[in-house]
């Protein structure tokens, strides 16, 4: 199998998905487009950030020529990401939507990522191997029983532990096979009420599966996850410290959507920021939503800043160019509330969900990095 993706390795120093990778705020560039390619999924996880939109059938997608024309117009593009639902759920989605997008990206030298639960037959993943840079998977369960409890929490039908166990094994096998095939497998764990005291176990499993990166994001209360208890800042902070104590320093760890900032009046927050900054092979990615990325729904053409926010669509690819819609968000009053930037701290401000969940009273525009 010949890999056709760019040869520059993805490393902590070279992360084209990072909003500040190629931008100098206040001017941001649209370097990343995320496609929602399906609303179907074989799982119903209790924390699903798009759970309310999941359906049993997909509509017809827009003409691929229109979608690719819009991408052609986006001159600053560096990456595309594919999400759902579960993008690999239907073979038709893989062949009719995902493959043309990945082939376009490869021809243009763009980096590519798919968010999948990697529980589908490997033959489906094999089709994508030549064109896929990053396989982004979720890893929030340390054994079959936890997996069963989490991924079928919102399912209408009963699924046995034995069936769940088989899927659990398939996920581990597929992650290993993808990694062996040269795909950069990045496993994401959420910090939530279930995982915060076992991130060390998840980290070890992720390493054993051959993943190249462990991504860690706190969970925020959107969609299905709105029913789950939100951790206190103290719990999130302690979980990150414990993980940093035991992690494998040779594996890249990427933290994202963190609720801790260099401008925090809290000394313990600033200590954590400093620890993350100095730790080997650790990066803290700035929030991409609307800073360098837009999300396109391939069914209705709507373009939004994030696939799990409540902001109205910025427009529609049927009528609007991506750059016009990106400019609309830059000028949007909601964006103005979180559009701070502290160059020395390499911080581009909070994510909207983070600000709403933990800092509803804070005016970030009046703050400055203290470290
Ligand atoms: S960019 Fe915003 S959130 Fe980040 S340190 Fe500065 S003021 Fe705080």
Instruction: State residue 246's pLDDT score.
Output: 97
Instruction: State residue 9's pLDDT score.
Output: 97
pTM of the model: 0.95
Token reading at 239: 């979980």
Instruction: State residue 356's pLDDT score.
Output: 87
On whether residue 37 sits in a domain, the answer given is yes
Which ligand 1 atom is nearest residue 345's CA? 5
Report the alpha-carbon distance of residue 302 to residue 195 in Å, rounded.
Answer: 34
CATH label of the domain that carries residue 301? 3.20.20.70
Tally of domains within the chain = 1
Burial of 63 (0-12, 13-18, 19+ CB in 10 A): exposed
Instruction: State residue 22's pLDDT score.
Output: 86
Q: Distance from the CA of 218 to the center of ligand 1, in angstroms?
A: 18
On whether residue 9 sits in a domain, the answer given is no
User: Residue 181: how many CA atoms within 13 Å on its side-chain side?
Assistant: 26
- The DSSP 8-state label assigned to residue 342 in this structure reads B
Judged by DSSP in three states, 297 sits in strand
Please list the residues that pair with 193 across neighbouring strands. none
Kindly give the parts of the chain with pLDDT less than 50: none
pLDDT of 245-291, one tens digit each? Answer: 999 999 999 999 999 999 999 999 999 999 999 999 999 999 999 99
Instruction: State residue 307's pLDDT score.
Output: 58
Instruction: State residue 309's pLDDT score.
Output: 61
Instruction: State residue 50's pLDDT score.
Output: 80
- Ligand 1 pocket by C-beta < 6 Å: which residues? 261-263, 340-342, 345, 347, 349-350, 364, 367-369
Please list the residues that pair with 82 across neighbouring strands. 35, 114
On whether residue 282 sits in a domain, the answer given is yes
On whether residue 371 sits in a domain, the answer given is no
Report the alpha-carbon distance of residue 158 to residue 196 in Å, rounded.
Answer: 27
Report the alpha-carbon distance of residue 140 to residue 21 in Å, rounded.
Answer: 29
Instruction: State residue 1's pLDDT score.
Output: 75
The dihedrals phi and psi of 234, each to the nearest 5 degrees, come to -60, -45
On whether residue 164 sits in a domain, the answer given is yes
Which domain range does residue 117 map to? 32-366
| Omega before residue 26 within 30° of 0, cis | yes
Instruction: Look at ligand 1, atom 3, and give the residue with the nearest C-alpha.
Output: 349
Q: Distance from the CA of 69 to the center of ligand 1, in angstroms?
A: 36
Q: Distance from the CA of 255 to the center of ligand 1, in angstroms?
A: 16
pLDDT of 165-221, one tens digit each? Answer: 999 999 999 999 999 999 999 999 999 999 999 999 999 999 999 999 999 999 987
On whether residue 147 sits in a domain, the answer given is yes
Instruction: State residue 148's pLDDT score.
Output: 96
Q: Distance from the CA of 331 to the center of ligand 1, in angstroms?
A: 19
End-to-end Cα, the chain, rounded Å: 48
On whether residue 4 sits in a domain, the answer given is no
On whether residue 5 sits in a domain, the answer given is no
Per the CB < 8 A criterion, the answer to whether 317 and 62 are in contact is yes
Best residue for ligand 1 mutational test, from 336, 369, 371 (most atoms within 8 Å of Cβ)? 369
């Amino acid at each position: 199998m010949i890999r056709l993706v760019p040869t520059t390795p993805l490393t902590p120093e070279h992360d084209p998905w990072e909003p500040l990778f190629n931008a100098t705020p206040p001017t941001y560039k649209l370097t990343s487009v995320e496609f929602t390619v399906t609303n179907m999924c074989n799982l119903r996880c209790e924390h699903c950030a798009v759970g309310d939109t999941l359906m049993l059938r997909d509509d017809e997608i827009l003409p691929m020529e229109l979608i690719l024309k819009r991408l052609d117009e986006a001159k600053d593009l560096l990456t595309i990401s594919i999400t759902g639902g579960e993008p690999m759920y239907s073979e038709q989605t893989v062949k009719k939507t995902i493959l043309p997008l990945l082939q376009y990206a490869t021809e243009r030298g763009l980096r590519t990522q798919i968010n999948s639960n990697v529980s589908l037959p490997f033959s489906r993943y094999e089709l994508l191997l030549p064109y896929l840079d990053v396989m982004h998977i979720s890893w929030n369960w340390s054994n079959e029983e936890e997996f069963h409890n989490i991924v079928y929490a919102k399912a209408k039908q009963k699924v046995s532990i034995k069936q769940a166990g088989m899927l659990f094994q398939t996920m581990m096998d597929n992650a290993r096979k993808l990694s062996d095939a040269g795909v950069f497998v990045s496993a994401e764990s959420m910090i939530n009420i279930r995982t915060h005291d076992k991130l060390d176990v998840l980290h070890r499993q992720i390493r054993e599966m051959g993943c190249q990166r462990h991504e860690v994001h706190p969970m925020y209360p959107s969609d299905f996850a709105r029913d789950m208890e939100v951790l206190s800042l103290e719990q999130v902070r302690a979980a990150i410290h414990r993980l940093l104590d035991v992690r494998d320093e040779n594996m890249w760890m990427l933290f994202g959507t963190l609720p801790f900032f260099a401008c925090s009046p809290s000394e313990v927050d600033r200590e954590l920021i400093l620890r993350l900054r100095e730790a080997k092979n650790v990066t803290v990615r700035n929030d991409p939503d609307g800073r360098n990325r837009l999300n396109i729904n391939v069914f209705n053409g709507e373009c939004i800043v994030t696939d799990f926010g409540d902001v109205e669509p910025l427009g529609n690819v049927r009528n609007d160019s991506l750059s016009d819609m990106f400019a609309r968000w830059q000028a949007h009053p909601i964006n103005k509330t979180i559009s701070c930037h502290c160059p020395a701290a390499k911080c581009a401000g909070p994510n909207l969900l983070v600000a709403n969940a933990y800092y509803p009273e804070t005016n970030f525009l009046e703050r400055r990095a203290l470290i």
